[in-house]
Structure 1
Amino acid sequence: MDKVSTAGTPVDKTAIRNAATIILYRRGAEGTEVLMGQRGASAAFMPNKFVFPGGAVDAVDATVPFACGPDPVCAARLAAEAEQPLVPALLAAAVRELWEETGLILGVPGAWPTPAPRGWRGFAASGHLPSAEGLRFVYRAITPPGRPRRFDARFFLAPATRVAGDVDDFSRAEDELSLLQWIPLTRARSFDLPFITEVVLGEVAALTAHDAPPDGVPFVRNDDLVAGIRRLR
């Protein structure tokens, strides 16, 4: 049976789906650390790989109220080559996936103006509204043809200081990722990583050294018409 989205419609597994990935970082004893976890051995997409939290955009993500939006540079770069309603949905998906896969909250205390939709009820029950403040859009990549799942993924970078609560408490995480841990950038490549994750880590090493937005966003395009890399500015 096809997987069903939170909107109740079947998901086409062969289509390129919009997705959001979030890279949380902090300063540790060995320098900059990033939060990663291991996908299950039975996962259809990237089994056993260590990845950043992330996943496909759900239809309800476009309806989520934000306490704080992203900075203008992030919003403008997200809007490049994307329909405007997709911008808040991508940001919301990043926040939701972090919550689902790690139990960590990117949000501020507040009550939702209307009942939270399916997929967001646990987040809302925590007493927080999602926040995109501090998120930086730093990478975009389309999964190459021939894979069991294909995504047009936007990667967001955020400091762990934006998390509400204990950044080492993963007790509320769902079971999609195991071995959740903060990994020093100097040792990240010793883990079993997808190729695109290794590439993104190269960008992250430079970007976490300062808080300025990146000089353009690398876009790895592997759709059915074009293959290559360029920068969104």
Structure 2
Amino acid sequence: MTIDKSQIRNAATVIVLRDRFDAPRILMGQRGAKAVFMPNKFVFPGGAVDPGDAHVPLASPLPETCAARMSEDADPGLVHAIAVAAIRELWEETGLILGRPGTWDTPPPPDWETFAATGHVPHAAPLQFTFRALTPPGRPRRFDARFFLVDADDIASDLDDFDAACDELSHLQWVPLSEARSFDMPFITEVVMAEVEARARERTPPDSVPFFKNNDEESLFLRLRGRPMEG
């Protein structure tokens, strides 16, 4: 039996890292009690790729290394849309702007109108592709999620102003990286946390990215260079 890819949605998650060289903190929020996917859990902002994301312009593309890693074991045509989704989800769920000042050449799609109104165009160069995880079978929803690390210094808005955020995440807060594991979070978030801790002081994208690949036959920890993870 193989994966029914029609039931798996591509998704993007953003881990914003603040004060990475002094006392690193990460931005997290809590999902609602009635959420179908991971209710009550503390998570990073993120969500599924929308069809329109493929057509949203970027002021800058993803770093070449990240795009290359994302194209392994995946459709290279998804790279742009996933990067756009990461920036959109960060804006929608936290009100933080990852963008460059500028105007749009064409009218923005409806779900980008509030972002465009801030006078910014989405900016993907600061995103570091850090982890990929496929939701195991049997869950109410399945996602092929790409996790991106971004330095808070690259955010164009006030890091403590969440007024523009939707209500999907509550208790948005900057959590000390050393204390994050005490929060009630999904298993995969804990796994990703280890990668964040290892890369907290690295400003360049990783050459090799962990991939937690769950299909109907087995669960594998791979690296997106075709090699099994060591250890």
**Is the structural similarity TM-score above 0.5?**
yes
Look up the match of 2:229: none
Look up the match of 2:83: 91
Structure 1 position 226, deviation (Å): 4.0
Secondary structure of 1:199 counterpart = helix
Look up the match of 2:141: 149
**Alpha carbons 2:29, 2:43 under 8 Å: kept:** yes
Count of aligned residue pairs for this structure pair: 221
**Alpha carbons 1:220, 1:229 under 8 Å: kept:** yes
Look up the match of 1:168: 160
**Alpha carbons 1:219, 1:231 under 8 Å: kept:** yes
**Alpha carbons 1:28, 1:184 under 8 Å: kept:** no
User: Which of residues 58, 62, 67 is equivalent to 2:54?
Assistant: 62
Structure 1 position 212, deviation (Å): 2.8
Question: Residues 1-233 of structure 1: matches in 2 within 5 Å?
Answer: 15-27=7-19, 31-233=23-225
RMSD between aligned alpha carbons? 1.6
Q: What's the % identity of the aligned pairs? A: 60
Secondary structure of 1:85 counterpart = helix
Aligned mates of 1:213, 1:94 — CA distance in 2: 16
Aligned mates of 1:15, 1:29 — CA distance in 2: 41
Q: What letter is aligned with 2:215? A: D
**Alpha carbons 1:30, 1:184 under 8 Å: kept:** no
Look up the match of 1:7: none
Secondary structure of 2:145 counterpart = strand
Aligned mates of 1:225, 1:18 — CA distance in 2: 20
Aligned mates of 2:9, 2:108 — CA distance in 1: 23
Q: 1:225 to 1:29 in 2, by over 3 A?
A: closer
Structure 1 position 62, deviation (Å): 0.4
Aligned mates of 2:196, 2:20 — CA distance in 1: 15
Structure 1 position 223, deviation (Å): 2.1
Aligned mates of 2:153, 2:212 — CA distance in 1: 29
Aligned mates of 1:151, 1:27 — CA distance in 2: 30
Deviation per CA, 1:51-98: give whole Å up to 9, x if none.
000000000000000001121111111111222221000000000000
Segments of structure 1 that go 5 or more residues without pairing to the other structure are 1-11
Q: What letter is aligned with 1:38? A: Q
Q: 1:179 to 1:232 in 2, by over 3 A?
A: same
Aligned mates of 2:177, 2:66 — CA distance in 1: 24
Secondary structure of 2:76 counterpart = coil
Deviation per CA, 1:94-135: give whole Å up to 9, x if none.
000000000000001111111111211111111110000111
TM-score by length of 1: 0.91
TM-score by length of 2: 0.92
Q: What letter is aligned with 1:142? A: L
Farther-moved stretch of structure 1 (52-61 vs 76-85): 76-85
Aligned mates of 2:159, 2:80 — CA distance in 1: 24
Aligned mates of 1:84, 1:29 — CA distance in 2: 34
Secondary structure of 1:24 counterpart = strand
Q: 1:108 to 1:159 in 2, by over 3 A?
A: same
